[in-house]
Chain A
Amino acid sequence: MAASTLTRKEQIARDLAHVPHKPGSTKPDPIIVADHVTRRFGGMTAVDVHHLEIQRGAITALIGPNGAGKTTLFNLLTGFDRPNSGEWSFEGTPLSRMSAAKVARSGMVRTFQLTKALSRMTVLENMRLGATGQPGENMLTSLFPPAWKGREDDITEQALELLARFKLDTKKDDFAGSLSGGQRKLLEMARALMTNPTTVMLDEPMAGVNPALTQSLLGHIEGLRDEGMTVLFVEHDMHMVRHISDWVVVMAEGRVVAEGPPTTIMQDQAVVDAYLGAHHDTDLGDDSLLDDDVIDQLEEEAEAEEHSRAEDGE
C-alpha cells in the first residue's frame, strides 16, 4: 500500500516536472480546461480566470486569501452558478452552462464549504441518496419494490463499505444532524463518492474540523488519488496543502496568480504578495507538525473528543 502510494505520487510528480511554474500553464494530461471564465457581482469581479488546466489523476490544491473567488470558481465549474463569460470542458466535453445535476452525472462531484448533511435523514439514507442507477427513483417504478430492491441491496453494500472506510459505520442509523462537524464533512465526502465520480471537488474539506480528524481526512483524500480519481480542493492551511497536494493553484482577487508544486509555491513573489495583502501572519509551513507520531497522537485525541461529544449528545 505504502509502496503503491509512493509510486503514484512519484508518477504524478514526474508528469508535472516539466510544467512551467506560471499561471495558466498547460498540463500533459488535463481533465479540466477552462478559458476566459469571468463572474461579476454588480461592479465587483469575483472570478476572472484566463486559462486553467487541471491534471488528471492528481491532487490539485486551490489556495488563496478569503474572497479570492475560489468558491465562486467551484460554483461555476460545477454548474451551481452561471458565468458572465467563458468556456470550460471536462474530459473533453464542454460543460459551460450545463446544469449542476448533469455536471455531477458526468463524473464531477463536489462538496460544499458549508457542509450540507441532510440532517433529518439517517447517515445510511444520506449515503444511499448519492447512488446512481436506482430505478426506484422513478415515481411509478418506485411503487413496485421488486423492480428496485436488487439495486437497493447493491447500493446498501457500497454505502456500508464506504462508511466503514470513513469510520462512520457505527453511526449509520443516526440522524446526520446529530453528527459532529468533522463527521459531517466525512459523510458529505463519502456521500459524494457514492456517485462513483472521476473527479471530486472539495471546498474547504478541513474547515471547522478538529486538527486530528484533519489527518484522517487527508489520508482519505490521498486514498482517492491512489484509486485514480482527480481531486481539486480548496484549503487555507499551507501545512495541509504541502502535505498532500501534487500541484498548487493560487488565486487572488479572482485571478490565478501563480501555479507550481507545493514545495516551491510559497516562495513565489505573487503568492507572498497575495497573502501579505490578506493575512500577513500566515505561517508558511512547519512540517514537524506532520510527523507520523504527532499525527497518530492527534488522531487518538480526536477520536476521544468525538466520543465525548457524541455522549454529551452534543
Chain B
Amino acid sequence: MDWTRILTNVAGELFAPATAAYALAAIGLNVHFGMTGLINMGQAGFMLMGAYGFAIATMNGWPVWAAVLAGLIAAAIFAIILGIPTLQLRGDYLAIVTIAAAEIARYTVRSSSLTWLTGGNAGISGNDFKGSFQNLCPLPEGSWALGPFQYSNCLSNSWWLRIVGWSLVAIAVVLVWRWMKSPWGRVLKGIREDEDAVRSLGKNVYSYKMQALVLGGLFGALGGMIYVLPSAVQADALGRTLTFNVWTILLLGGAATVFGPVLGSLIMWAVLMLIKSVLRDMPWDVITSTQAEAFSWVLVGVTLMVLVIFRPQGILGDPKEVAIDGR
C-alpha cells in the first residue's frame, strides 16, 4: 500500500475548492438550523441558484461582481418565495417545502425547454462561464507546486480558486462568529428555543426568521459558485445528495458552533478520501473502484447514525446543551 500517495490525496482534500464550497453551504445551513432552528432540507436549491445565477449572468457578458450579485439575488428571491408561506407555520412545513422547491428548481433548470438558457440536461460547460473569474487571477500563468500538491495557478481547479474559496470561508466564519455573539444572534437563538416566547417579548419573529433564511441561503449560493467553478454546472450534481452531505457535515462538526461546519467539511472529505484510497490499494481484487466509492458512502451513513446516537451535539458542540434538550 502506497501510504505516501494516500496521505497526499487525503491532505489535498483538506484545502480543495469543493471542501470550501461544502463548508460555505454548511455555514449557511448553520445559520438556518443551528442559530434559528429552521429545518431547511433544500440547501442544494440555494447552491443551485448561486451556481446558475453566476454562470448564466457571466455567459451574458456580466462582469464577475455583477454575476456574483446575480447568483446572490437569485438565492435571496428563492428564500423569500419559500419563506413567505411557510415561516408563519409550524417548523415542519419549511422542511417539506424546501425539499420540494429544491427539486422543482433542479427539474426546471435541466428541462429541455430551457436548454437555450441553462443548457438543459447537459448543463453549462466550464469554458462557457469560468473565463471572467480566471481573468481576475493575479497569479502568473502556468502552474505551481507546493510539495506534492501541484495545481494550475489560474485555470479550473486552481490555486486562485482555492485562495478565493477559503477566503470566503474565513470571512463567513468571522461574520457568523460576530452574529452569534450579538443581540441579533440572541433573538435567533430565542426563536430556536421557543418562538412564542420571543413573540411575547415584542420581537417580530417572522422578520427574523426571514432574515436568517435569506442569509443562510446567500452563504449557500456562494458555496454553489465555488462548487461549480473547478468543473461545470450540472443540475444533477446539485440535488438531494448534496443537501444530505451538507447536513452530515453540519451535524458532524456541530450545529450552533462557529467552526463546526468547517471542521465537519474537512473531516468528511478527508475521511472519504482515506477510505476510498485505502480500498483501492487493497491487494485483493474483491472490490472495484466503483464499489469502493459506494462503500465509502455507506460508511458515511453509518458514521452519521453513530454520531447522532452517541454524540448528537457533533464534535464541537456542547454536550450540556443537548442534555437539557432531552429532558
In the assembly, what is the distance between CA of A192 and CA of B200, in Å?
A: 8
Give the segment of A86-94, A122-130, A222-230, A286-294 that binds chain B: A122-130
Tell whether, in the assembled complex, residue B183 and residue A100 are in contact, meaning their CB atoms are under 8 Å apart.
Answer: no
Whether B320 sits at the interface, judged by CB under 8 Å, is yes
| Partner-contacting stretch, out of B137-145, B188-196, B286-294, B299-307 | B188-196
Contact assessment for A136 and B182 in the assembled complex, using a CB-CB cutoff below 8 Å: yes
CB B231 to nearest CB in A, in angstroms, measures 34
Max count, chain B CB within 10 A of own CB: residue among A116, A134, A139, A177: A139
- B178/A143 in contact, CB under 8 A: yes
Contacts of B193 in A (CB 8 A): 118-121
Kindly report which residue of chain B lies nearest to residue A100, judged by CB atoms.
B199
What separation, in Å, do the CA atoms of A290 and B265 have in the docked complex?
62
Contact residues, A140-196 vs B (CB, 8 A): 141-143, 145, 148, 152, 175, 177-178, 188, 191-192, 194-195
Q: Does A110 contact B (CB under 8 A)?
A: yes
Known A80-B196, A121-B190, A139-B215; contact A109-B201, beta-carbon cutoff 8 A: yes
CA distance A117 to B324 in the complex (A): 12
Q: Which of B182, B198, B324 has the most CB of A within 10 A?
A: B182
Would you call A138 an interface residue if the criterion is a C-beta within 8 Å of the partner chain's C-beta atoms?
yes
- From known contacts A118-B190, A129-B190, A142-B178, infer whether A112 and B200 are also in contact, taking CB-CB under 8 Å: yes
**Least Cβ–Cβ distance between B253 and chain A, in angstroms:** 18
| Known contacts A78-B200, A137-B203, A195-B201; A142/B324 CB under 8 A | no
Is there a chain B Cβ closer than 8 Å to A132's Cβ? Answer: yes
Distance, CA A242 to CA B16, complexed state (A): 71
Is B238 part of the contact surface with A, judged by Cβ < 8 Å? no
* A101 at the B interface (CB under 8 A): yes
A124 to chain B, nearest CB (A): 11
- Given known contacts A112-B196, A118-B189, A121-B190, A175 and B320 CB-to-CB distance under 8 angstroms: yes
A112 to B201 CA separation, bound complex (whole angstroms): 12
| CB <8 Å contact, A143 and B179 | yes
Q: Is the CB of A142 within 8 A of B198?
A: no
- Tell me whether A104 is interfacial, beta carbon within 8 Å: yes
* Chain A residues near B200 (CB-CB < 8 A): 78, 80, 100, 104, 109-112, 116, 192
Give 1 or 0 for each of B192-212: 1 = CB within 8 Å of chain A CB: 111011111111110000010
Q: Does B185 contact A (CB under 8 A)?
A: yes
A105 interface residue (CB < 8 Å to B): yes
Kindly list chain B residues whose C-beta atoms are within 8 Å of the C-beta of A80.
196, 199-200
Measured between beta carbons, the chain A residues less than 8 angstroms from B93 are: none
A194–B321 Cα gap in the complex (Å)? 25
Residues of chain B lying within 8 A (CB to CB) of residue A117: 197
A192 to B202: give the CA distance in the assembly, Å. Answer: 10
Nearest chain-A residue to B193 (Cβ)? A118
- Provide the bound-state CA to CA distance between A229 and B185, in Å: 31
A18 to chain B, nearest CB (A): 35
Residues in chain B near residue A125, CB distance under 8 A: 186, 189
B178 to chain A: which residues have CB within 8 Å?
142-143
Could you say which of A110, A111, A129, A138 has the most chain B C-beta atoms within 10 Å of its C-beta? Answer: A129
A80 to chain B: closest residue by CB: B196
Q: Is B90 an interface residue (CB 8 A)?
A: no
Taken together as a complex, chains A and B put the C-alpha atoms of A199 and B320 apart, in Å, by 36
In the docked arrangement, what's the CA distance between A305 and B185, Å?
Answer: 35
Q: How far is the CA of A191 from the CA of B199 in the complex (A)?
A: 13
Chain B residue numbers with a CB within 8 Å of A110 are 200
Chain A 263-282 residues near chain B, CB threshold 8 A: none
> In the bound complex, do residue A142 and residue B183 qualify as a contact, i.e. CB atoms below 8 Å apart?
yes
A202 to chain B, nearest CB (A): 12
Q: CA separation between A194 and B190, bound complex, in Å?
A: 15
Residues of A within 8 A of B175 (CB): 143
CB distance from A263 to the nearest CB of B (A): 33
Whether B161 sits at the interface, judged by CB under 8 Å, is no
- Contacts A109-B202, A175-B321 aside, 15 further interface pairs with beta carbons under 8 A come to A80-B200, A99-B199, A104-B200, A104-B201, A119-B193, A121-B190, A125-B186, A125-B189, A128-B183, A134-B183, A142-B182, A145-B182, A175-B320, A188-B197, A195-B201
